[in-house]
Chains A and B, each alone.
Chain A
Amino acid sequence: MIARHISLLFDGFAYGMLLFVLSVGLSVTLGMMNFVNLAHGTFAMIGGYTTVMLMRSAGWPFFATLPVAFVGAAATSLVLERILYRRLYRASDLDQSLLTIGIVFVSIAAAAYVFGTGQQPVQLPAYLRGRVEFGDFSFGIYRMFLVVAALVITGLLVLGLEYTRFGSRVRACVDNQRMARGLGLNVDAVFSITFALGSGLAGLGGALGIEIVGLDPNFAFKYLVYMLIVVAVGGLASIRGAFVTAAMLGIIDIVSKYYVPEIGAFVLYFVMVSFLVWRPAGLFARRS
């Protein structure tokens, strides 16, 4: 009985961790740079396709493709940042949304053209498949791997943004751009790197997510709502907020679907609306 519940909680937590990896980059770009980047899913999709192509065509092992997925998405985002995003840093939210929705449309069609409209399944190495059992408890191995990956990413991000010189530069540029410029910081470069970091994380999330949520050209759009929910409830620009929220939403989603499957889909949305009415700036708002 207890074992079953612990397994459920664990599954929810692992699912939440996937949501976290997919969304945390958005929290960085939206929260820190104030840029409404609805094309976040596009970068996730780029990461996913990178992994699929390397595994299938070049025969790379799954783990080796992950850094490339990160780099591929980050590099693409740097190019787009240079030609498109940069022009709109000062534009209204609405203009930013329109630009990024345009990018989503282009990327969906391009992916369908290049990779076809079908699903892109991958065969994970045998040691990542299946499950381990400790007495009554049983955990999926891939889910355990996801949890570990998410914890590592969180640790690196928190350390990197709060305890390094680069992190303090980012925070300075975000909090007061003019002052940062005055102090001789290269704000443009800092923004570029931050943006690439956020997109790279999305790419990593896309690669890690194939096993759980699949991959097809519509990926760029399909998970946008989930990403936005995590960022909104967690509070903009808060790594910890995104982490706690993603974990909480994952658990709530799984547990509610287990106990009350009839209203399973309502619960997630209901929780989001209630939390936002209660704390409009998010649970861990860095600033309002």
Chain B
Amino acid sequence: MDKKIAGLAGLAAATLLAASPVYADGTVKIGLIMTYSGQFADLATMMDNAIKLYVKQHGDTVAGKKIEFIRKDSGTGGTAPDVAKRLAQELVVRDKADIIAGFSLTPEALAAADVGTEAKKPMVITNAATAIITTRSPYFVRTSTALPQPIGTLGGWAAKSGIKQAYTMVSDYGPGIDSEGAFQNAFKQGGGQIVGSVRFPVANPDFSAFAQRLKDSNSEAVFIFVPGGEQPAALGKALAERGITPKTMKVLSSGELTNDDALKGLGDAALGIISGWTYDHRHKSALNAEFVKGMNELLGGRNPDQFAVSAYDGIHLIYEALKKTNGNTDGDALINAMKGMAWESPRGPISIDPETRDIIQTIYLRRVENIGGQLGNVEFDKVEKVKDPVKEKMKADGKLTADGLAK
């Protein structure tokens, strides 16, 4: 029966392939896989509006071809990588997408890796931030960040700035564990000492127990990573209730703890938090001013965050690659065009590492200050051209192929 079905299927597919219209030469289809609904819908809100802004600013025609977006929601019922993989497959076989972009979360990207490899379609990651993702398919390119990039930089800066001991607190899931490793490694390398660490469950409404542990540690500094959403503010408040503020203990964190929403909830308790991150809407550049203005209009007054800028850059990369190939949508040609590409993003100068296909960018060290009555991040130091330390180490250990894949 199985054979018959497969035979029948083969026949059907053959007829269909023959019958499928030779898709119009004039369009390039970009499939977007994002968590448009569900728990992580806000990421997609940011990314999708940034894409709309880019198209508004740069038109929908590149190298004589019309750009068409196909939006697919991977947010069904939490994080469902099986759905993300299916959507990637459908984009390839049904919608005939030339490029796939998006990927809100790591498991989605990892599950879809093989689809890109098999179909030879470029997949531009505009958020998922676990370091190893790009080593899983030669067709992955990332314009967001590998978390160890900003976090490792922060750890190195912390040691250099004279902090002797630190405690780490991270969410107990992939990105949290990645950050924990990145901070601890860089901090220890710089001569710092880790006096303790704790991981909180992903679903954790109340942080007071962890705040107490931190207080008991009497550490000089603490590094914190929590995913965005309601947790940054909840954690910050729990710390403040225990009397832990940057005035009593140096608080270092990723950008999530000091984004606009979190700062609004935290209030003055946040003053002085130091974060190492890729982007803030207060970054001073003409390009960023224009970007922020455009996003404010689309988002009804809200400011863009790193999700928005990553998606904006992702679409820029696709546009530029298409220009370079003269509209040729062959996967290998596009990937080759993307490798090594460098440009000015609203977050500053960035480029795509030709060896790993991951982003190389400036990491900013920022402090939360009161700027004209509003709390915000003020950049006070930066490290330029930062690569993902995890893949650099893999390369040094001979664990990375010439294509940037894990051996």
* A→B interface (CB under 8 Å): 4, 7-8, 11-12, 15, 108-109, 112, 116-119, 121-123, 129-131, 138, 140, 143, 211-218, 222-223, 226, 250, 253-258, 261-262, 264-265
Cβ 8 A contact of B198, one of A212, A217, A218, A261: A261
Q: Interface on chain A toward B: helix, strand, loop, or mixed SS?
A: helix
Q: Does B51 contact A (CB under 8 A)?
A: no
Q: Does B213 contact A (CB under 8 A)?
A: yes
Given known pairs A138-B242, A211-B237, A216-B229, the reply for A123 and B261 (CB within 8 Å) is: no
B233→A8 contact, CB < 8 A: no
Give the CA-CA distance A184 to B210 in the complex, in Å.
56
B233→A119 contact, CB < 8 A: yes
Given known pairs A4-B216, A131-B243, A265-B201, the reply for A121 and B209 (CB within 8 Å) is: no
Give the CA-CA distance A11 to B234 in the complex, in Å.
13
B237→A15 contact, CB < 8 A: no
In the assembled complex, which residues on chain A have CB atoms less than 8 Å from the CB atom of B41?
A: 112, 117, 217-218
CB-nearest residue of chain B to A15: B206
Give the CA-CA distance A116 to B199 in the complex, in Å.
30
Q: Does B203 contact A (CB under 8 A)?
A: yes
In the assembled complex, which residues on chain A have CB atoms less than 8 Å from the CB atom of B199?
A: 261-262
State how many residues of chain B have any CB contact under 8 Å with chain A.
38
In the assembled complex, which residues on chain B have CB atoms less than 8 Å from the CB atom of A215?
A: 230
A119→B261 contact, CB < 8 A: yes
Q: Does B200 contact A (CB under 8 A)?
A: yes
Q: Does B89 contact A (CB under 8 A)?
A: no
In chain B, positions 209-246 with a C-beta closer than 8 Å to chain A are 209-210, 212-213, 216, 229-231, 233-234, 237, 240-243
B319 to chain A, nearest CB (A): 26
A23 to chain B, nearest CB (A): 13
B205 to chain A, nearest CB (A): 5
Among A109, A257, A262, find the residue whose CB has the most chain B CB atoms closer than 10 A.
Answer: A257
A257→B209 contact, CB < 8 A: yes
In the assembled complex, which residues on chain A have CB atoms less than 8 Å from the CB atom of B285?
A: none
Q: Does B86 contact A (CB under 8 A)?
A: no
Give the CA-CA distance A256 to B41 in the complex, in Å.
32
A11→B206 contact, CB < 8 A: yes
B46 to chain A, nearest CB (A): 9
Among A8, A116, A121, A223, find the residue whose CB has the most chain B CB atoms closer than 10 A.
Answer: A121
In the assembled complex, which residues on chain A have CB atoms less than 8 Å from the CB atom of B328?
A: none
Give the CA-CA distance A219 to B304 in the complex, in Å.
23
In the assembled complex, which residues on chain A have CB atoms less than 8 Å from the CB atom of B237?
A: 211-212
CB-nearest residue of chain A to B215: A4
B205→A226 contact, CB < 8 A: yes
Convert B259-275 into 0s and 1s, putting 1 for each residue whose CB lies closer than 8 angstroms to a CB of A: 00110110100000000
In the assembled complex, which residues on chain A have CB atoms less than 8 Å from the CB atom of B212?
A: 4, 7-8, 11, 258
CB-nearest residue of chain B to A11: B208
Given known pairs A4-B216, A116-B45, A119-B261, the reply for A213 and B205 (CB within 8 Å) is: yes
CB-nearest residue of chain B to A256: B209
Among A12, A119, A130, A212, find the residue whose CB has the most chain B CB atoms closer than 10 A.
Answer: A119
In the assembled complex, which residues on chain B have CB atoms less than 8 Å from the CB atom of A15?
A: 205-206, 208
Q: A109-B37, A130-B241, A258-B210 are in contact. List 20 more A-B contacts (CB 8 A).
A: A8-B209, A8-B212, A12-B208, A15-B208, A117-B41, A117-B45, A118-B261, A119-B233, A121-B233, A122-B265, A123-B264, A131-B243, A138-B243, A215-B230, A250-B206, A253-B209, A256-B209, A257-B200, A264-B200, A265-B201
B201→A264 contact, CB < 8 A: yes
Q: Does B189 contact A (CB under 8 A)?
A: no
Give the CA-CA distance A265 to B205 in the complex, in Å.
11
Q: Does B393 contact A (CB under 8 A)?
A: no
Cβ 8 A contact of A218, one of B39, B45, B242: B39
In the assembled complex, which residues on chain A have CB atoms less than 8 Å from the CB atom of B234?
A: 212-214
Among A108, A109, A129, A261, find the residue whose CB has the most chain B CB atoms closer than 10 A.
Answer: A261
A218→B38 contact, CB < 8 A: yes
CB-nearest residue of chain B to A141: B241
Give the CA-CA distance A189 to B29 in the complex, in Å.
58
Give the CA-CA distance A218 to B39 in the complex, in Å.
6
In the assembled complex, which residues on chain A have CB atoms less than 8 Å from the CB atom of B302?
A: 116, 118
Give the CA-CA distance A262 to B229 in the complex, in Å.
23
B267→A129 contact, CB < 8 A: yes
In the assembled complex, which residues on chain B have CB atoms less than 8 Å from the CB atom of A250?
A: 206
Q: Does B300 contact A (CB under 8 A)?
A: yes
A216→B209 contact, CB < 8 A: no
In the assembled complex, which residues on chain B have CB atoms less than 8 Å from the CB atom of A213?
A: 205-206, 230, 234
Q: Does B42 contact A (CB under 8 A)?
A: yes
B265→A212 contact, CB < 8 A: no
Give the CA-CA distance A143 to B234 in the complex, in Å.
13
In the assembled complex, which residues on chain B have CB atoms less than 8 Å from the CB atom of A118?
A: 42, 45, 261, 302
Give the CA-CA distance A257 to B264 in the complex, in Å.
27
CB-nearest residue of chain A to B169: A261
